[in-house]
Copies of this chain bind each other. A is one copy, B any other.
Amino acid sequence: MISFESDYNNGAHEKVLQRLIDTNATRTITYGGDEFCESAREKIKLACQTPEANVFFLAGGTQTNATVIDSMLHTYEGVIAVSSAHINTHEAGAVEFTEHKIINIREHEYGKMAAEDLEKYLFDFMHDGNNAHCAYPGMVYITFPSEYGTLYTAAELDSIYRICQHYHLPLYVDGARLGYALASPACDFDLPFLAHHCDVFYIGGTKVGALCGEAVVFTHNNAHPHFFSIQKQHGALLAKGRVLGVQFDALFTDNLYFDIAQNAITTAMQMRQIFLDKGYGLYVESPTNQQFPVMHNSEVERLEADILFTRWAQTDDEHTVCRFVTSWATTQQDIDTLRNIVG
């Protein structure tokens, strides 16, 4: 059965795996102090054009979000996010588990925050005489791409970042699928632009070629000086840190991370055309690797017999928004099979 259920339904890219094989016998320092982590850090800083960055490797996305956010907030502060943000919906309360509130502001469009809404919230908060009774805004969290596959433009990101800077709030960009954003033709900026328009972000490995692993980049030497201990405290420090370092070293060698991300976009656009040709509406215009066709329930059931995908939401009693996801590993044969089944 073909699967478009997620972008993490298989193992690692062959070059990543090969690097794990090649380095397996080498004895190293533990907890991320090894030569592979060090090499990966240097390559990532070079790719980001942020020589002053601090780079850390963690195992997964929810863990990364909770650890980064907790490291940057004081006890009385919360993190601003739109209501559909991943930390607010599908992380089982992991941020609240660190005792911090997620301060919801309006979702402007699918998965995205509007700079105007952020500014209004902050302006009103700072002018509210009773704000000492509220969770204090301590940072801003956005996802890129968003949970709906949508992207910020360079101008939008710049606007949000300017507001953050004006209010002295760090901006954190969750890049669980970062490769698929940057590989999209709809993205009008590159990795260095991102790295220069936020205070911390992570480069998702789990969904883009690795067995596991996310690379956190504090862009201007602004990691908490005890971030290592905070990782440990969160259970977010692998004893064999090399396992993550080796993989990111491979992903950032010869442009691999970006090259393999391209495949997800190419196949997603083919998939999109299949849905349009079939006459399905698209719930949201996503230029990345997640597509959201709206289908009649009978059609959903028919497809479920042959294809793995996700029911996302009901639009009415008879129609369902479905999510189909491609990845670096999606094959032309997967797409052709999809076309035959759907068509």
| Interface stretch (choices A21-29, A153-161, A254-262) | A21-29
| Interface stretch (choices A97-105, A140-148, A164-172) | A97-105
Partner of A92, one of B91, B233, B311: B233
Considering the chains assembled together, what is the distance between the CA atoms of A14 and B217 in angstroms? Answer: 33
Given known pairs A9-B28, A21-B17, the reply for A75 and B233 (CB within 8 Å) is yes
For A242, what are the chain B residues with a Cβ–Cβ distance below 8 Å? Answer: 11
CB atoms of A240 and B226 under 8 A apart:
no
The size class of the interface chain A forms with chain B is: 35 or more
Does A42 make an interface contact (CB < 8 A)? no
- Chain A interface main SS type: loop
Q: A62-B237, A75-B233 are in contact. List 17 more A-B contacts (CB 8 A).
A: A9-B30, A10-B24, A10-B25, A10-B28, A20-B211, A60-B237, A60-B238, A78-B96, A91-B232, A92-B133, A92-B233, A93-B134, A133-B232, A134-B229, A206-B238, A206-B240, A207-B239
CB atoms of B76 and A93 under 8 A apart:
yes
For A98, what are the chain B residues with a Cβ–Cβ distance below 8 Å? Answer: 75, 97, 99
A314, closest chain B residue (CB) = B124
CB atoms of A71 and B75 under 8 A apart:
yes
A135, closest chain B residue (CB) = B93
For A29, what are the chain B residues with a Cβ–Cβ distance below 8 Å? Answer: 5, 9
Given known pairs A8-B30, A211-B243, the reply for A78 and B66 (CB within 8 Å) is no
CB atoms of A100 and B92 under 8 A apart:
no
Does A305 make an interface contact (CB < 8 A)? no
Partner of A228, one of B21, B83, B132, B226: B132
Considering the chains assembled together, what is the distance between the CA atoms of A191 and B140 in angstroms? Answer: 44
CB atoms of B134 and A89 under 8 A apart:
yes
Partner of A240, one of B8, B17, B74, B91: B8
24 A/B residue pairs, CB under 8 Å, sorted by A: A8-B239, A9-B28, A11-B23, A11-B26, A20-B211, A59-B212, A61-B239, A62-B232, A63-B236, A65-B235, A66-B235, A76-B233, A78-B96, A90-B133, A90-B134, A91-B133, A91-B232, A92-B232, A93-B135, A94-B232, A97-B98, A104-B104, A130-B310, A135-B233
Residues of A50-74 whose CB lies within 8 A of B: 59-67, 70-71, 74
CB atoms of A311 and B212 under 8 A apart:
no
Pairs A-B, 5 closest by C-beta atoms:
A63-B235, A11-B24, A93-B135, A92-B232, A93-B101
The smallest beta-carbon distance between A256 and chain B, in angstroms, is 16
Does A3 make an interface contact (CB < 8 A)? yes
Does A85 make an interface contact (CB < 8 A)? no
CB atoms of B17 and A130 under 8 A apart:
no
Does A221 make an interface contact (CB < 8 A)? no
For A310, what are the chain B residues with a Cβ–Cβ distance below 8 Å? Answer: 130
